Structure 1
Amino acid sequence: MKKTITALAILFTLIACEKTTQTKEFKTAYIDTSKLMEESIEAKDIEAKYKEKSKTMGTQLEAEVNRWKSEAANFQKNAQANGQAWAQQKGAELQKREQQLSYAQEGILRQLQQESGAELDSLVTSYKKEIKQYGKEKGYDYIYGTGESNSVLFAKENYDITKEIIKIVNDKYKSTDNKEEKTEKKEEQKK
């Protein structure tokens, strides 16, 4: 009886050791994506480029705003002297120019955001390629991203289940779509 218990204990130990040696350890790492963008020279250069461009465009707009302010100040001084009809006409012109300046400022901001956004998106794409290449060269199974957006930045292709999930959701959508069509046909036949 003791021999049987000892033999079973040895057998269980061997099985446990075999399972331990068969389990694969994954090599993983992470990247603080916020820090990457903050400390990237290329990202800093892009930021500096658009700060300078903003300053240049802002200077031009600021000159127009100063001219408008000067005209508005003169308008208030001359309004009573030139009469009500002149004041209404000039006031409408000043309001129109103020609105145009506001639209111009919004347009400049939108343009700068679009241009810088496109460049930063391109930069992020190139960084993802670099991270993927680095992961392959260093033998990583996963590289995770932390920071403002958490995501997997690299994974071996055999861990990708995207195609399977797409098939599941597409099949589900098709079956729902077919059920709706059958229901519509039955309702039409009843009429």
Structure 2
Amino acid sequence: MKKLILLSFAALAFVSCNKEATSVEKMKTAYVDTGKLLEENKEAKDIEDKYKVKSEEMGRELRGEASQFQNEAQAFQQNAQLKGPAWAQAKGAELQKREQELGMKQQAMLQSLQQASGKEMDSLVKRIKNHIKEYGKKNGYDYIYGTGDAATVLYAKEAYDITAIMTKEINDQYKGPAKPEETEKK
């Protein structure tokens, strides 16, 4: 009798384990290479280009000021012996102060660019995450994993990779800044 009860428990446990295994097999999963997704994202490229242009504009302005400063520093070196140590000391302090101001201005510009581009990229990443979430719901996925810089998947079959689908859908939805030739046609 005891053996019969033990056998029935073992059979019941086996059947319940089998049911769990079949439900796990029916799970629909996929993964997205987030690094590649951002790398191939049109909006991310536009953001990068936008801030590259702003950086170049700011750089030109700073180079002009730096060039002017270098010219003054060279003139200072030539005039230092002629005008005496008191003048050299006063002018040297003035030049040192201007050099520090230029350095602080450069740091402020870089920080401003980084903050602005960071906000735009964070907003883009949030929209991409929401798109992936909606895609998963719409297409019946149980899980969609992310790989890339902050990898959360150690192994996945390539058949589960939906990065190309996500890239295409997100890029198709992105309108981008109006191109000059598009505004002329209207």
TM-score by structure 2 length? 0.71
CA deviation map 1:105-137 (0-9, x unaligned): 000110000000000000000001100000001
Counterpart-to-counterpart distance in 1, 2:20 and 2:37: 36
**1:101 CA drift (Å):** 0.2
1:29-48 paired onto structure 2 within 5 Å:
29-48=30-49
Counterpart-to-counterpart distance in 2, 1:30 and 1:78: 68
**1:53 CA drift (Å):** 0.4
Distance 1:99 1:15, change over 3 A: closer
**1:20 CA drift (Å):** 2.7
Counterpart-to-counterpart distance in 1, 2:150 and 2:114: 20
What residue number does 2:158 align with?
none
1:160-179 paired onto structure 2 within 5 Å:
none
Identical residues among aligned pairs (%): 55
Match status 1:115 vs 2:116: yes
Counterpart-to-counterpart distance in 1, 2:97 and 2:14: 82
RMSD: 2.3
Counterpart-to-counterpart distance in 1, 2:122 and 2:136: 21
Match status 1:140 vs 2:138: no
1:15-164 paired onto structure 2 within 5 Å:
16=14, 19-21=17-19, 23=21, 24-25=23-24, 26-150=27-151
SS in 1 for 2:82: helix
**1:18 CA drift (Å):** 6.8
Flag as ranges the 4+ runs of structure 1 deviating above 3 A: 14-19
CA deviation map 1:73-130 (0-9, x unaligned): 0100011111111111111110000000000000011000000000000000000110
Counterpart-to-counterpart distance in 2, 1:22 and 1:98: 70
Amino acid at match of 2:132: I
Equivalent pairs counted in the alignment come to: 144
TM-score by structure 1 length? 0.69
Distance 1:22 1:77, change over 3 A: closer
Alignment gaps of 5+ in structure 2: 1-6, 154-186
Amino acid at match of 1:20: N
**1:150 CA drift (Å):** 3.4
Of the two, which has the highest radius of gyration? 1
**1:144 CA drift (Å):** 1.0
Distance 1:103 1:20, change over 3 A: same
Larger relative contact order (Cα-Cα within 8 Å, sequence gap ≥ 6):
2
**1:56 CA drift (Å):** 0.4
Counterpart-to-counterpart distance in 1, 2:59 and 2:20: 64
Alignment gaps of 5+ in structure 1: 1-7, 153-191
SS in 1 for 2:149: coil
Counterpart-to-counterpart distance in 1, 2:84 and 2:13: 103
